Amino acid sequence: MPSLGALIAEPLFLLTDTAMVGHLGAPALASLGLASTILTTVVGLLIFLAYATTSIVARRLGSGNRPGALAAGISGIWLAAALGVVLGAAGLVLSETVVSLFPATDEVSSGALAYLHISWWGLPGMLIVIAATGVMRGLQDTKTPLWIALGGFGSNAALNAVLIYGLGLGLIGSAVGTVIAQWGMALVFLGFIITNARHQDVSLTPSLLGFTAAARSGGWLFLRTLSLRVALIGTVLVATGLGTRELAAWHIVFTIFTLLALALDALAIGAQALVGHDLGSGDLAAVTHATSTLMKWGFLAGGILAVATGLLAPILPFVMTSDQPVQQALTPVLILLALTLPLSGYVFVLDGILIGAGDGKYLAITGALNVLMFAPFLWIAAHTEWVVLGVNLGGLLMLEAAFGISYIGARALTLGLRARGKRWMVPGESR
């Protein structure tokens, strides 16, 4: 449960933003969808800051080197801060160019730019949160990230309510509230890390060795995540080409999917720390047992969320937006999404297990193959047309099928084949 709460807090930020902005109209919601795609791509590409630190810290902790584990984590946080400053500055300069790559209307593009120009200021804080979360999980502490994440979500929701509606700032208010919440979480995390470092007499300055370890471990994970983001951006490009309402609907669908995916990923995050710890101590039998158990739990958790999503599919559209054509299109797409969730649960658990084992190279290579298998189905979705109440429902359904069945199915195949063998189980303090 602590892993679950900490994982879903960040997508809850976006879900809250989506629900509040959704009642401002389809153009504002489409702008948020476009801007959030760009932001989550940058953050998603750097999720290795959490995954790599979790694996490294857990292995060192498993081998009995707690000070070394904490020192590695601190270097990872410094790396996150540096990347956040550089990429945030680049984002401010390049936002207009990036937004122009999407075939959106002028109104949607203008709103997305306004949102991005504020949101980039929160990027360093968000990356610090991601890296610090990885450190705490590697140290087997999942409760602290949970409470910090819940506090951040609560403050984000309150700030957005005041800024969007109370002060009438609309989409801009959503961006400001999220940036404030992100930096608040970062400062609280840093307080906990500094306290732990002082108790262990660990230096707060980064080490070249720590930077190198984080970069080496994270390099393959970066490429793995890049393939995921290429797939996700592909769906947004197709949805944008379908139209403004279609993009608004797809943003809601994918925001809900992200929340559900990270809820399922709670098992994977636990697996990362558990597998890393057991490999560090050399207990391969425990790794094998955990893998088998977690795979079953992945299917089960996906099934439970599938039932819940299916039951809520007729209700969620009215919570998320006031645009009637978008509401009508959402329910069938959400039902199709629900049907794909058990397979997603299996995929996310296996992904987490292999990340915890440090098997990033395999994940990177097969990630590229998965995208190649996915591409033809994206093309089909882009050329599917069945308009209902002014929305291309056929295109949206085909897009969900392309992602939830063909892409997730390709990942299930490549991950399942790897998990059946033992080559990924490399014991010791480092891989």
* pLDDT reading at 337 higher than 90: yes
Higher pLDDT, 422 or 80: 80
User: What's the mean pLDDT in 311-330?
Assistant: 90
For residue 429, being part of any structural domain is answered with no
Contact of 271 with 350, CB cutoff 8 Å: no
User: What's the mean pLDDT in 283-300?
Assistant: 82
* 385 contact partners, CB below 8 Å, separation of at least 6: 392, 394, 395
Nearest 5°: phi and psi at 388? -130, 120
Instruction: Record the pTM.
Output: 0.72
* pLDDT reading at 57 higher than 90: no
Higher pLDDT, 355 or 315: 315
* Span 84-122, pLDDT tens digits: 999 999 999 999 999 988 888 888 899 999 999 999 999
For residue 424, being part of any structural domain is answered with no
Q: What is the pLDDT of residue 320?
A: 84
For residue 430, being part of any structural domain is answered with no
* pLDDT reading at 359 higher than 90: no
Phi-psi region of 77 (alpha: psi -120 to 50; beta: other; left: phi over 0): alpha
* Span 234-270, pLDDT tens digits: 998 999 889 888 988 998 898 889 888 877 877 777 6
* pLDDT reading at 393 higher than 90: yes
* Span 183-224, pLDDT tens digits: 999 999 999 888 888 887 777 877 666 556 666 666 777 888
Q: What is the pLDDT of residue 85?
A: 94
Contact of 357 with 275, CB cutoff 8 Å: yes
Q: Measured at the alpha carbon of residue 221, what is the angle toward residues 218 and 223, in degrees to the nearest 5?
A: 115
Confidence label for 25 from pLDDT (cuts 50, 70 and 90) = confident
Q: What is the pLDDT of residue 426?
A: 66
Of 1-15, 63-77, 134-148, 387-401, the range with the lowest mean pLDDT is 1-15
Of 34-43, 62-71, 386-395, 415-424, the range with the lowest mean pLDDT is 62-71
- When divided into structural domains, the chain yields a total of 1
* pLDDT reading at 22 higher than 70: yes
Higher pLDDT, 54 or 251: 251
* pLDDT reading at 310 higher than 90: yes
User: What's the mean pLDDT in 144-167?
Assistant: 86
User: What's the mean pLDDT in 352-370?
Assistant: 87
* pLDDT reading at 181 higher than 80: yes
Work out the angle between the directed axes of helices 244-281 and 284-312 (0-180°, nearest 10).
160
For residue 57, being part of any structural domain is answered with yes
H or E element at residue 392: strand 391-392
For residue 257, being part of any structural domain is answered with yes
* 3 contact partners, CB below 8 Å, separation of at least 6: 137, 142, 146, 266, 267, 269, 270
Range(s) of the domain holding residue 91 = 2-419
Q: Round the average pLDDT of the chain to a whole number and report it.
A: 84
User: What's the mean pLDDT in 326-339?
Assistant: 94
